[in-house]
Amino acid sequence: MPGDLSVTSWRHLPAGEKDRVGALVEQFRKRFSRAPTFVALAPGRVNLIGEHTDYNGYPVLPAAMERHIAVAAAPRSDELVTAQATAPRFDLCTFSLRAPLQPASAGHWGNYVKAAAQLLLARRSDPRGADLLVDGTIPAGAGLSSSSALVVGAGLALLASAGISGLSRLSLAEEFAEAEQFVGTMSGGMDQACCLLAQEQCALRIDFFPLRVRPVSFPAGHHIVVCHSLVTAEKSGPARTAYNLRVWECRVAARVLAFLLNRLRPLSIDRLADLERHFPSVPRHSFVDLLADHIPDRPLSLDEIARVLKADVGTFLPERTKAPLPLDTPLSIVRRARHVFSEATRVELAEQALREGDLRTLHGAMRASHASCRDDYEVGCSELEALVKAATESGALGARLTGAGFGGCTVQLVQTEQLPEFFERIDQTFYAPRLPHQRCFADYRFAFRPSSGAKLVVID
């Protein structure tokens, strides 16, 4: 089982990380005229399979990347948090821990730091603040969870600066997932759990409510490859509405199913996975059949759904919703439920296949996941289609979109010895025609073996 978050001396870091931390410490010294006391390293993640299942209570299968958000921190004597980024496009963010935290405009990076500060405020009523310097190698808006890595990195740095240590990784993952809702996205807990609980050389099967993880060895002789579609999908910005709509649609689908299964006393169920717990004799695929038998597979407002079912609209209004949608929003509940239930089964299949080194089955599950994300969950786009095609033709296994979708990256598996050939082909077919003035595409596609979870480094 995962343990507590311990502190590592920077002297014991592997060479590459030591250099990065050393460079950040130097930059911190220059900007703040003193040394940081801690550096938090929080990895991004790539999800192999299990897309949009986490907030529905179904499992996911991600792996941590060798790319991080690094946050250097030193305590202050007052209650202010000042956060700077090494990249000049991010402006200075300063806030007081005494005043109630107010989000800045949607998409502002400081909102993630404020989200992180909630863990500190939950433990100290009058905490001292800290100076933070943030650096990162995870592309933003790429579906690789740079935002959750920022929340975890900033949060660990703030907690450590305040002298709070020895916290359980599992509880931190749950708390950071809850805290990130501050930015207004109703996301699940995959990103924070992977960031904190990942293990080297392993993918991580994560189950939710309650949070549980189990590592799955990643096969030797293969690398995970991530390719950027060149379409940015900032989950804190424009993609947020589309993401929250999917969450809302799933919750309504769960409510409708609870009603169809017991019209006299419908259960207040908001997560699709909870239906299986309450109705264990109903096979998973029958939920979709039941829904499709009663609700047309086209966008319908809540009013229309209530009329079709001859019931009161209130029966279908989800609870636990921080950002409810207007009642006349058209909802596609049949196809969303079809994706979620089928994706849950594909995660189980993929985990088993990965354990057995059955890459053919894994490939099939990942490709089916991509089709389901595109057709039933409608989170694809034409660039992702072109990229999946190019990757498959270049010899990759299981190419599929990864993360929330609406752009971002694809994930695929490539035999380690075929990596140079794969990159050459994907550069020729996908990147060179789209980026005619560029010669090197290494920033857009990269390979790695699964990495470990977040680290807290003491600068002693």
Binding site for ligand GLA (CB under 6 A): 47, 51-52, 54-55, 145, 187-188, 190-191, 403-404
Based on CB atoms, which residue is closest to ligand GLA, 191 or 351?
191
Based on CB atoms, which residue is closest to ligand GLA, 84 or 145?
145
Rounded Cα–Cα distance for residues 176 and 196 (Å): 10
Beta-carbon-side half-sphere exposure of residue 431 (alpha carbons within 13 Å) = 20
Least gap, CB of 410 to ligand GLA (angstroms): 14
Based on CB atoms, which residue is closest to ligand GLA, 21 or 250?
250
Least gap, CB of 146 to ligand GLA (angstroms): 10
Question: Which residues are known catalytic residues?
Answer: 191
Residue nearest to ligand GLA (CB): 187
Copy the structure tokens of residue 346. Answer: 């594909």
Based on CB atoms, which residue is closest to ligand GLA, 47 or 392?
47
Based on CB atoms, which residue is closest to ligand GLA, 97 or 404?
404
Least gap, CB of 346 to ligand GLA (angstroms): 13
Closest CA to 147 of 195, 204, 99, 101: 195
Least gap, CB of 223 to ligand GLA (angstroms): 22
Based on CB atoms, which residue is closest to ligand GLA, 58 or 423?
58
Q: Which residues pair with 40 in a beta bridge?
A: 71, 456
Q: Could you write out the three-class secondary structure of the chain?
A: CCCECCEEEHHHCCHHHHHHHHHHHHHHHHHHCCCCCEEEEEEEEEEEECCCCHHHCCCEEEEEEEEEEEEEEEECCCCEEEEEECCCCCCCEEEECCCCCCCCCCCCCHHHHHHHHHHHHCCCCCCCCEEEEEEECCCCCCCCCHHHHHHHHHHHHHHHHCCCCCCEHHHHHHHHHHHHHHHCCCCCCHHHHHHHHCCCCEEEEEECCCCEEEEEECCCCEEEEEEECCCCCCCCCCHHHHHHHHHHHHHHHHHHHHHHHCCCCCCCCCCHHHHHHHCCCCCHHHHHHHHHHHCCCCCECHHHHHHHCCCCHHHHCCCCCCCCCCCCCCECHHHHHHHHHHHHHHHHHHHHHHHHCCHHHHHHHHHHHHHHHHHCCCCCCHHHHHHHHHHHHCCCEEEEECCCCCCCEEEEEEEHHHHHHHHHHHHHHHHHHHCCCCCCCCCCEEEECCECCCEEEECC
Other C-beta atoms lying within 10 Å of the C-beta of residue 110:
20
Based on CB atoms, which residue is closest to ligand GLA, 72 or 333?
333
Based on CB atoms, which residue is closest to ligand GLA, 54 or 174?
54
Least gap, CB of 125 to ligand GLA (angstroms): 30
Least gap, CB of 224 to ligand GLA (angstroms): 16
Least gap, CB of 356 to ligand GLA (angstroms): 24
Least gap, CB of 411 to ligand GLA (angstroms): 12
Contacts of 292 (CB under 8 A, 6+ apart): 334, 338
Based on CB atoms, which residue is closest to ligand GLA, 369 or 394?
369
Least gap, CB of 373 to ligand GLA (angstroms): 9
Closest CA to 82 of 30, 150, 121, 129: 129
